[in-house]
Amino acid sequence: MKKLFALFILLVTSFSLHSQEISQWRGPERDGTYPESGLLKVWPAEGPPLVWSSSGIGKGYASAVSDGNRVFVTGMKDSTDYLTSMTIKGEILWQVPFGPSWNSSFPETRCTPTLENGSVYVLSGLGTISSINASDGKTNWKFNAARKFEAAYGDWGVCESLLLVDNMVIYTPAGPRTSMVALDKKTGETIWESESLNDTSGYVSPRLIRIGNRRVIVTIMANNLMGVDPASGKILWKYNYAALKPEESVKVWPGAPKTNTITPLFMDGFLYITGGYNHVGVMFKVSDNADTISLAWTDTVLDCHHGGVVLVDGHIYGSNWIDNSRGNWCSIDWKTGKAGYDHNWQTKGSIIASDGMLYIYDEKNGNVGLLNPDPAKFDLVSSFKVPGGKGPCWSHPSIKGGILYVRRGDVLMAYDIQKK
């Protein structure tokens, strides 16, 4: 009887892992918005209930993803990047190495896993791509993609969470050979290589946007914003973002134009990008046929470092850069770029949105805040400090099934934020 029950559980788990939607970096659309409902609008003074805390996942800044049955997260141990599979109760099921970590400044793992149909896709800090079976951790396929495609990357190595489009895995090596490639999800074989813009990769995870019946893969390298046709790999348009300058009175950090980290926002034919270090934020209009883009407005308030931005009810929210350890929380208008507020709370950090609320995570001390998205004021409702982990709090929180996942270093914490 026990064997039959165990077999039933295995079959149920296998079915759930093979029937899920994509679980990935910053939510279904990669825009930081999670489609949850019935979440708490106010937290207890000590914060929402901590369901579990799990250590030993390895050091890293990547987010956790969940399909509601399992939780997956990456982390660095010694000089190797590992993928960890956990139950939704925080019990570690397996851990497998998937590639060498970055070997210079801030080597900790940055790649958030991408989970779909029973496979997890990951990219190591030195550019090894792996497809791993979500049930048992066995490798489906794996190779050094940075070497194969002659990648060019900057001071912090490879920092990209892989995008899935149809039957393809999308990776941005940049460099002299190609800017972006599409790999077969089942085999890892190359489907297409785009032309090369002879750029260096940024630290941006690409996203897919839709304009009418047209789809475009959008990302930012060290210099260029580009849009790529997912069917052919043709670069539809490019824009030299690094060449844009704020007014002369604004002092830009020397490496700013080439240190891009933020996945773009998109709505109704308009595309917003931002970088830190006093570099300008830009809104572009994408043509109706998606063949061209044109500059709509620029902004110098919300120069987001690496915590992401979200769009809620016609306003963009995030934190800006004062220096590498300081920043304020801001709002700007989607249509005009006009600033709403520029508020000091703790320091800069990451931001996500769900069920009509904003969730912020300060990068220095691990304070988590719950905000009403009021464009005119920083409306903090509740806050608490995470008890676990060490080091910078650079991981972006994520939400699945009423659970808020917050990571610090090699500790992942799960909070119940569902209304009872």
User: Residue range 82-86: average pLDDT?
Assistant: 98
Amino acid at 379: D
Q: What are the pLDDT digits (tens) for 387-420?
A: 999 999 999 999 999 999 999 999 999 999 999 8
32: its two tokens: 């930081």
Give pLDDT tens digits for 129-184: 999 999 999 999 999 999 999 999 999 999 999 999 999 999 999 999 999 999 99
Q: What are the residue ranges spanned by the domains of the chain?
A: 30-416
> For the segment 194-238, what is each residue's pLDDT rounded down to a tens digit?
999 999 999 999 999 999 999 999 999 999 999 999 999 999 999
Strand order in the sheet with 70-77: 65-66, 70-77, 80-87, 92-100
Structure pTM? Answer: 0.94
Residue 257: pLDDT band by 50, 70, 90 thresholds?
confident
Average pLDDT in the 104-123 region? Answer: 97
Q: Is the pLDDT of residue 11 over 90?
A: no
Phi and psi of 11, rounded to 5°? -65, -40
pLDDT over threshold 50, residue 5 = no
Residue recorded with tokens 């969940």? 66
* pLDDT reading at 381 higher than 70: yes
Confidence grade of residue 253 (pLDDT, cut at 50, 70, 90)? confident
Query: Is the model's pLDDT at 16 over the cut of 50?
Result: no
Which of 235, 243, 223 lies closest to 181, judged by CA? 235
Ordered strands of the 357-362 beta sheet: 33-34, 349-354, 357-362, 367-372, 379-385
What one-character DSSP code corresponds to residue 397? Answer: P
Mean pLDDT, rounded, for 15-40 = 84
Q: Looking at the predicted structure, is the pLDDT value of residue 3 above 70?
A: no
Instruction: For domain 30-416, say whether CATH 2.130.10.10 is its number.
Output: yes
Residue 14 C-alpha from the chain's centroid: 26
What pLDDT shows up at residue 275?
92
User: Residue type for 150, please?
Assistant: E
Q: Burial letters for 207-230: b for 16+ Cβ neighbours within 10 Å, e otherwise?
A: bbbebeebbbbbbbbbbbbbbbbb
Mean pLDDT of 59-65: 98
- CA-atom Rg of the chain in angstroms: 20
